[in-house]
């Protein structure tokens, strides 16, 4: 079921990848012809969870099709400093 989830930057509690996956869907009217490669642009504000969720949904729908990401990093988590 497609549904809205709280925006990460506006919430104390982060939604996990499984919950993000459950909130997403694919518009089948735009799924044809099948892509040869899928590129996703993500503004990594926090941890990249949204990219991983989108990647999982797309890989499930289009098995064997490469799913790549292009990221704009605005934050370095303290653990990486």
| pLDDT digit string, tens, across residues 22-31 | 999 999 999 9
Q: Confidence class of residue 1 from pLDDT cuts 50, 70 and 90?
A: low
CB atoms within 10 A of CB 50: 20
Nearest to residue 15, comparing CAs of 6, 24, 26? 6
Q: Model's pTM, two decimal places? A: 0.74
Nearest to residue 48, comparing CAs of 12, 3, 8, 10? 8
Nearest to residue 9, comparing CAs of 75, 80, 78? 75
């Amino acid at each position: 079921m497609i549904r809205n989830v709280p925006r990460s930057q506006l919430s104390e509690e982060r939604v996990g990848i499984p919950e993000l996956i459950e909130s997403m869907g694919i518009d089948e009217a735009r799924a044809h012809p099948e892509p040869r490669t899928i590129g996703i642009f993500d503004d990594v504000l926090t941890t990249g969870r949204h990219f991983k969720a989108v990647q999982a949904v797309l890989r499930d729908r289009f098995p064997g099709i490469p799913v790549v990401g292009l990221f704009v990093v605005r934050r370095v988590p303290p653990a990486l400093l």
